[in-house]
Amino acid sequence: MAPPRTPKKRPRTYDAAKIRTAVLTQFGHVREAAAELTPQQLDAPTRLDGWTVRDLLAHTSMALGAVDRFLALPEPAKAEKAALDWPFATAANAPGIADRSREIAAEHPDVTALLAATEQRFAEILAATADTRVLPVQAGPMTLADYLVTRTVELVVHTDDLNDAVPGLDVPLDRQALAACTRLLADALATKAPGGSTEVRIPPFAVVQCVEGPRHTRGTPPNVVETDPLTWLRLATGRTSWKAALDDALVSASGERADLEALLPIMA
């Protein structure tokens, strides 16, 4: 007997207006926190190899400034990629992005002014640009609406990096930005390891089924992984390891197909 076919899932949709607000809100939190940092804190190292806090903030500015650069280029005929394609395309561009972030940090010694100018320009762009505008993103042409979903990952993950680098800073995470970031990376896991044998729960934002094997249909799933959003983001982006998260009781995993170590990180 042939195995049952796994139903094709529809891509998750996001409320474009809420994503716009979330991106602006999270960037505003970062800008406000940066204004309070001392020169010593700006020059402190981060958990990103070779990056200072100043480099990290410059990169955060670059993450939104990219929209302005894309709009200055010819518009592609159509969107070929969606937000879900983006996590798998970032690794190839990582070295160049790191170099450019350091260059921007060196070019703009007043990083607070840089962030303020970026925020103002980005707000102007959002007011003047339709969600359907296609951008020539390196990962492949995608609409502004989809690209802004990827910006929630950039901003939330790097806000967490900033909080890690500066003890006591505690930059807040916008709930909508955190939700979108969590869901996008959870869906990326399900895309990387399609199947229905394992249920990954990241309350309160996401539940996905993944990993080949017997498909669960009712009752308690035989293979369950559960963690909180921040731990999930750190696992998905390589900020922490599967083993470390298990050892610290930040992840619960039950069932013979609940070991996700070989599938992580998603973005590396």
For residue 123, the SS3 value is helix
Give the helix/strand (H/E) hosting 251.
strand 251-254
Q: Which pair of tokens denotes residue 30?
A: 């970062």
pLDDT of residue 218: 62
The domain spans of the chain are 16-176, 193-263
Closest CA to 54 of 238, 46, 239: 46
pLDDT of residue 219: 62
Residue 88: Cβ-neighbour burial (10 angstroms; 0-12, 13-18, 19+): middle
Let me know: does 134 contact 75? Beta carbons within 8 Å: yes
Q: How far apart are CA 45 and CA 158, in angstroms?
A: 14
For residue 209, the SS3 value is strand
For residue 241, the SS3 value is coil
Neighbours of 17 (CB within 10 A): 10
For residue 52, the SS3 value is strand
Q: State whether CATH 1.20.120.450 applies to domain 16-176.
A: yes
- Rounded to two decimals, the pTM is 0.93
Neighbours of 76 (CB within 10 A): 15
pLDDT of residue 1: 30
Ranges of residues in the chain with a pLDDT under 50 are 1-7
Q: How far apart are CA 73 and CA 261, in angstroms?
A: 40
Class of the domain covering 193-263: alpha beta
pLDDT of residue 94: 74
Q: How far apart are CA 157 and CA 230, in angstroms?
A: 9
Q: Which pair of tokens denotes residue 237?
A: 């982006």
Q: What is the CA radius of gyration of the chain?
A: 19
Task: Calculate the dihedral angle through the C-alpha atoms of 53, 57, 62, 67, rounding to the nearest 10 degrees.
Answer: 150
Q: Which pair of tokens denotes residue 253?
A: 């995993």
CA distances from 133 to 97, 111, 120 (A): 24, 30, 20
Q: Which pair of tokens denotes residue 62?
A: 């670059």
Give the helix/strand (H/E) hosting 125.
helix 111-128
pLDDT of residue 147: 98
